[in-house]
Amino acid sequence: MAVEIVMPHLSDSMEEGTIVRWLIAEGDAVTEGQEIVEVETDKATVTYESELNGTVLALNAAVGDTVPVGGVIAVVGEGNGGSAGAPVSATRATRATRTAGATSGRRVKASPLARRIAAELGVDLATLAGSGPHGRVIRSDVERSGARAPGSAKGTTTRTRPTRLQETVARRMAESRSTVPDFELRCEVDMTRAVALRSELREIVDPPPSYNDFIVRAVALALRGFPRVNGAYRDSGFEQYSRVNVGIAVSTDDGLLVPTIFDADQRSLAQIAATSRELAAKVRDGSISPTELSGSTFSVSNLGMYGLDSFTAVINPPQAAILAVGSLKPRAVVDDAGAVVARPTVHLTLACDHRILHGADGARFLTRVRDLLQKPVALMT
């Protein structure tokens, strides 16, 4: 009996997936739990495992094909193809088999965008030397070896298609800007005590929590007292969530991903620091899972490492708000005695969805975050 393998539903927002690489070919025997295909979703590239034993009778989708969730991508059964079920054209089956076998000698580390471009240009990833982290093949490696558009008055033009992630980000950000009536609140936080505390922790913890970990911890504690900020406006109604799940924006060579620190309000500062480091590493080496990229109820975006004083982040619908964090550096402030002194400060910008949050709601929340950061001993409890 032939069984159809369909495009799996790998994330809460996934509607379709792109075949990045087949790890099997027609005629191969597969066993339950065996990795059979790499699929690029709207959030990450993941490896899908077989849920049954049998023989591959047909590959219904080639590398580079985009298939809706539930669409048939392969047929597995008994025998050598006599009961392969739905017919597959010879051209598509040959193309899928040939592409899958091109790198069968070793599994090449490559970014999803690099895989997409390589498939379009017919470039064998196994022939490329990766210049990314840990030898990972990235877009520029493929473009240097592939065909380019002819020159013009603008010079040589290279045109590439966005990845599923980039398409999703573009769609969601356009949706946010066109549908969310947002407003912004800003404050400057004196981080003198936080800097001192981190210096003390450095002597007993290696590595010590980052300043972003301090901010995530403060945000998580503040969200407990302001549940509407930990909510969403969806389908003309208000949603409030019992769990505080903070998403942290992490930049990659292909775009921006936001992994989630679940139940952040119940984690210690040290636990938040360890989790954030682990998630960031997974994002950058491509091993992050769809589950780890889902479920956030509030987001923090930090661009302080680039020296920016402040910026405005775009709300990730349907979340009620997002916090943007600028650089921490010495700035002139007026102390209690009226003297101008240099203090380490950071600028926070809170973007709020006005449909669920009013100015006072956001202001009280942001003030609570500031108070926690300026008296950081509270973050250690």
Q: What's the alpha-carbon Rg for the chain, to the nearest Å?
A: 24
What stretches in the chain show pLDDT beneath 70?
Answer: 12, 79-107, 112, 146-157, 254
- Can you give the pLDDT at residue 152? 53
pTM of the model: 0.67
| Known catalytic membership, residue 134 | no
Record: fold of 182-380: Chloramphenicol Acetyltransferase (3.30.559)
Provide the pLDDT for residue 86. Answer: 37
pLDDT score of 149? 44
User: 341-347: long-range contacts at Cβ-Cβ below 8 A with a sequence spacing of 24 or more?
Assistant: 343/190, 343/191, 343/192, 344/190, 344/191, 344/192, 344/195, 345/188, 345/189, 345/190, 345/191, 346/188, 346/189, 346/191, 346/211, 346/215, 346/304, 346/373, 347/186, 347/187, 347/188, 347/189, 347/309, 347/310
Which pLDDT does position 106 carry in this prediction?
A: 53
- Domain positions in the chain are 3-147, 182-380
CB burial class (10 A; 0-12, 13-18, 19+) of residue 303?
Answer: middle
CATH of domain 3-147: 2.40.50.100
Looking at residue 83, what is its pLDDT? 39
- Which pLDDT tens digit goes with each residue over 136-192? 788 778 877 754 444 456 666 677 777 777 787 888 888 898 889 999 999 999 999
Catalytic residue among 9, 134, 347, 354: 354
CB atoms within 10 A of CB 346: 25
